[in-house]
Amino acid sequence: DAGVIQSPRHEVTEMGQEVTLRCKPISGHDYLFWYRQTMMRGLELLIYFNNNVPIDDSGMPEDRFSAKMPNASFSTLKIQPSEPRDSAVYFCASRRTETYEQYFGPGTRLTVT
């Protein structure tokens, strides 16, 4: 089992540019979550999907953020336009309905200059 895969692992971009983060959940998992972690705010849930459908996006900070899950094996988190305050580590996690355990990916460290 490869675990949750995220790409890229590191992203450095300039303010105003579009950023796309990618996630491949564990095969067979039907929940997918996007989290953001900063020193100031800790680890926050941004949005989660069940069977590719967004269930709760109340944590998405603003309209510059969008997330999609076109199929069971792929999800994207897009920031457009990016701002320096978006600098953070973004984690993707997945879970099966039958279990309580969320499996986290290694994260993408985003730096917006």
Task: Give residues in contact with other proteins (CB under 8 A).
Answer: 4, 31, 33, 42-45, 48, 50, 55-56, 91, 93, 95, 97, 99-107
At its nearest, how many Å lie between other proteins and the CB of residue 34?
Answer: 12
**Cβ distance to other proteins smaller for residue 81 or 87:** 87
**Cβ distance to other proteins smaller for residue 72 or 81:** 72
Structure tokens at 35: 């989290």
Structure tokens at 31: 């929940």
Structure tokens at 4: 């949750």
Nearest to 113 by CA among 19, 16, 14, 18: 14
Nearest to 66 by CA among 84, 51, 54: 54
At its nearest, how many Å lie between other proteins and the CB of residue 53?
Answer: 13
Question: Whose structure tokens read 């701002």?
Answer: 83
**Cβ distance to other proteins smaller for residue 18 or 44:** 44
